Amino acid sequence: MTAKIAYDEVEVGTELPAQSFPVTRATLVRYAGASGDFNPIHWNEKFAVEVGLPDVIAHGMFTMAEAARVVTDWVGDPGAVVEYGVRFTRPVVVPNDDTGALIEVSAKVAAKLEENRVRVDLTATSAGQKVLGMARAVVRLA
């Protein structure tokens, strides 16, 4: 599969469709099982508070992956993402209720590069706070 987006059809400033990703404690348990990361800050409220966190927090790699979905959904082929990196600025706090937390992600094309590649800058927030910084993906387009 190749990118469904043509390089010539994309301009700097093109906005990708924004998405919101709900996160509950059950989501974190499933992610812990899949990733093997059973650190108690991701499931044990008492432990999380004892180490100085406000509550249980989402795995950083989970947050990073959810943000990347905005790019992969847009381009149509996860293999078209040739680089991806973020800085973790704040944790996603996941309360123990029926709602949990929400990760909101927006993105836009920030630069056109050589070889049909573009740089996409992402913004990820939760509870009104930026949770990822310097979130950037390089994508090879058709």
Domains of the chain: 7-23+57-140 (3.10.129.10)
In the predicted structure, residue 61 carries a pLDDT above the cut 70: yes
pLDDT tens readout for residues 29-52:
999 999 999 999 999 999 999 999
Beta bridge partners of 138: 83, 119
Kindly report the pTM of this predicted structure. Answer: 0.94
- pLDDT of 1 reads 63
- pLDDT of 124 reads 98
Average pLDDT, rounded, for the chain: 97
Other C-beta atoms lying within 10 Å of the C-beta of residue 15:
10
Task: pLDDT band for 74, please (50, 70, 90 cuts).
Answer: very high
pLDDT > 70 fraction of the chain, expressed in percent and rounded: 99
- pLDDT of 98 reads 87
Buried b (16+ CB within 10 A) or exposed e, 20-57: ebebbbebbeebbeeeeeeeebbbebeebeeeeeeebb
